[in-house]
Structure 1
Amino acid sequence: MLSAANVRTAGGAANYFASDNYYTRADADRSGEWFGKGAERQGLEGRVDARLFEAVLKGMLPDGSRVGSDGREHRAGTDLTFSMPKSWSLLALVGGDKRIIDAYAAAVKETLAWAEKNLAETRIEVRGREKIAQTGNLLVALFQHDTNRNQEPNAHIHAVVANVTQGPDGKWRALRNDKLWEHNTLLNAMTMARFRLSVEKLGYEIGETGKHGNFEAAGVPRHVRDAFSSRRAEIVAALEGMNGKGLAARNAANLMTRAAKQTIEDRSALGQQWRNQAARIGFAPAEVIARANGRAAMDIGGVPTLGGFVRDVVEHGRGIAQALAE
């Protein structure tokens, strides 16, 4: 699943960043990393530094450029949160198959590279008239996390897209993020298509499939997923009392029910707690992983050609890319 949320203002971004040091605190699941051609052009690579990240969100770039200094309130950026389906989180985090984490991260990066090439835009003034220009570069900070706010297994990646991009004339301007929102569903489907290829090559079988390319792993029943999904249950309950539907309603329900992010004092103890819970409900992730490894060893999980599901998503993406180029 992919959700999007604006980090709206420079002042708000600073508070958002500092409130619980959510993105860069010491117990974050993995250190953040810079991503995108925009980051490269600013000399940003490797681990994300907290103070530099905050400055970028305020529009103050390492090369001295200042975005949003014209007196108008500066929107800090867009938080694209890519969340792995629950069954895959359980196999990766309870079962210990970290290859799944790597496969999902690779899929997210591939999707972001496509979005950068096809969806990154800014507004420029030409002969006194404002026009939209494609830029082909984004400045992104990626953060991998492995829990939800109820400290349940929930592998997800925050792609915090800063509100800056370099225009065709070399000047850094605010990013027009409309197409990131407009093609949210496509971006999720592309990510899941790439992820599906990877996990099938690892020997895993596909279970239930859902909308927008989402799919679960075979061998992880619904009752098991539900046992580790109290956060989802809270959001669903909130949605039932709301009139709206879709991404906006889900984001609102998420905010309404969101508790403060708790510091994980002992990650090894939390992992053992998950394994104990899995054992109590009769779920043995090691058996699912062993079956996948056996299939991969016999090359059963290999995917020599794109299946219809993947092909449809890729062709849809190409069609949109062509339309954007016209």
Structure 2
Amino acid sequence: MLTPAVVRSASGAASYYAADNYYTDGQATEASLWVGEGAAQLGLTGEVGREPFEAVLRGELPNGATIPAGANGKHRAGMDFTFSAPKSLSLLAYVGGDARLLAAHMASVRSTVGWIERNLAETRVAKDGAQETVRSGNLVVALFQHDTSRALDPQAHIHAIIANATRGPDGKWRAVHNDALWEGYSTAASVYNADLRQRVEALGYATERVLATRVRDSVTLVVDDAVRLERVAGRRDGAKTEASIIEKATARGDRVPEKQIALELTGRVRERSIELEM
């Protein structure tokens, strides 16, 4: 799922997005990362530092350029495109221990950001006394990988913070024209879902397409590996139980709904005080 939002404060954003992860406890690779052609042109690479992140959101770029304030005299910090992995992926990664899924999720987000740059990144330039919207093809994006929801449930999601700065065709740095980003985010969500589906299937998982809304779809992992996940959870609470609904369904060759996995694991990981979101 892809959810767009406005970043309203540079300092507030730096504090929120750099918050510690609950489950990975700072051990996740690529917890933060600069991506995008615009970031590369500004020399922003690797881990996202607080000071350069705040500065970029204020419109103060590393090359000395400054993004002018808008018509209201205020500078827009940017946008937050949040890529949320399916609940089943989060369970398999954080409870089942398959870190490959987190790497696949990060790779899908990076690939989708590239698509967004090529197709939705725009700015406005003066031409013949009027403002004209033109494709810029580059963005300055900071990725922050988080592992929990607001309720501290396991939820793999990545915030892609799109700074309000892009290099125009004439080489000058300007504000991003957001219209295409708002209009095209549902298409970007489909690109992300398709890419993620391909990557997790390459890891040996089966997936199915689930209609989430009228305009967006999502990917649900069909847990063919449910017995292994069940055993991992069983070891964590030390309980020996009869064959679960998941094991029985797997033995019959039935598909196991994502919500059923969450229901069963809720009772099996209580030592970690996890209440899984339905």
TM-score, normalised on structure 2? 0.76
The structure with the largest strand share of the pair is 2
Query: Is 1:223 paired with 2:260?
Result: yes
Contact 2:31 2:146 in 1 (8 A): no
CA RMSD of aligned residues (A): 2.4
State the one-letter code of the partner of 1:224: I
Q: How does 1:95-174 map to 2 (within 5 A)?
A: 95-174=96-175
Deviation at 1:225, TM superposition (A): 3.2
The residue correspondences of 1:1-326 to structure 2 (distance < 5 A) are: 1-8=1-8, 12-14=9-11, 16-17=12-13, 21-27=15-21, 31-69=31-69, 72-207=73-208, 209-211=210-212, 212-219=216-223, 221=257, 222-225=259-262, 273=272
Structure 1 counterpart SS, 2:76? coil
Which residue identity does 1:17 align to in structure 2?
Answer: A
Q: Take 2:201 and 2:19, find their aligned partners in 1: how far apart are those partners? A: 34
Q: Residue 250 of structure 2 aligns with which residue?
A: none
- The number of aligned residues is 231
2:231 alignment partner in structure 1: none
CA offsets per residue over residues 82-141 of structure 1, 9 Å max, x none? 000111111111101011111111111111101101110001111211000110100000
Instruction: Report deviation, 1:208.
Output: 6.2
Deviation of 1:272 after TM superposition, in Å, equals 5.9
Q: Distance in 2 between matches of 1:171 and 1:122?
A: 11
| Distance (whole Å) between structure 2 residues aligned to residue 170 and residue 226 of structure 1 | 54
Give the aligned residue type for 2:16.
Answer: Y
3-state SS in 1 of match to 2:105: helix
* Distance of 1:142 and 1:120 partners within structure 2: 17
The residue matched to 1:93 in structure 2 has which SS? helix
Q: Does structure 1 conserve the Cα–Cα contact (< 8 Å) formed by 2:153 and 2:275?
A: no
More helix by share: 1
The Cα shift of 1:17 comes to: 2.4
SS at match of 1:43: coil
Q: Is contact 1:36–1:139 with CA below 8 Å preserved after alignment?
A: yes
* CA distance in 1 between partners of 2:270 and 2:198 (Å): 28
- What amino acid maps onto 1:197 in structure 2? Q
Does the aligned pair in 2 maintain the 1:4–1:81 contact within 8 Å?
yes
Cα distance between partner residues in 2 of 1:91 and 1:65: 45
User: 1:206 Cα deviation (Å)?
Assistant: 1.9
CA–CA distance in structure 1, aligned partners of residues 62 and 136 of structure 2: 19
Question: Does the Cα contact within 8 Å between 1:94 and 1:271 map onto a contact in 2?
Answer: no
5+ residue gaps, structure 2:
224-255
For 2:35, the aligned partner's letter is: F
3-state DSSP of counterpart to 2:159: strand
Give the C-alpha shift of residue 179 in structure 1. 1.2
Aligned partner letter, 2:4: A
Gaps of 5+ in 1: 230-269, 279-326
Aligned residues of 2:32 and 2:47 also touching (Cα < 8 A)? yes
CA distance in 2, matches of 1:271, 1:52: 41
- Deviations 1:139-166 (Å, cap 9, x if unpaired)? 0000101001111010000000000000
For 1:83 and 1:215, the matched residues in 2 are separated by 11
Q: What is the percent sequence identity of the aligned residues?
A: 44
User: Under a length normalisation based on structure 1, what TM-score does the superposition of the two structures give?
Assistant: 0.66
- CA distance in 2: counterparts of 1:227 and 1:68, whole angstroms: 54
Contact 1:208 1:217 in 2 (8 A): no
Q: Distance in 2 between matches of 1:7 and 1:26?
A: 19
The separation in 1 between residues aligned to 2:54 and 2:270, in whole angstroms, is 31
Preserved CA contact (<8 Å) 2:209 2:217: no
User: Does structure 2 retain, via aligned residues, the 8 Å contact 1:37–1:137?
Assistant: yes
Question: Given the superposition, is the C-alpha separation of residues 57 and 92 from structure 1 closer, same or farther in structure 2, using an over 3 Å criterion?
Answer: same
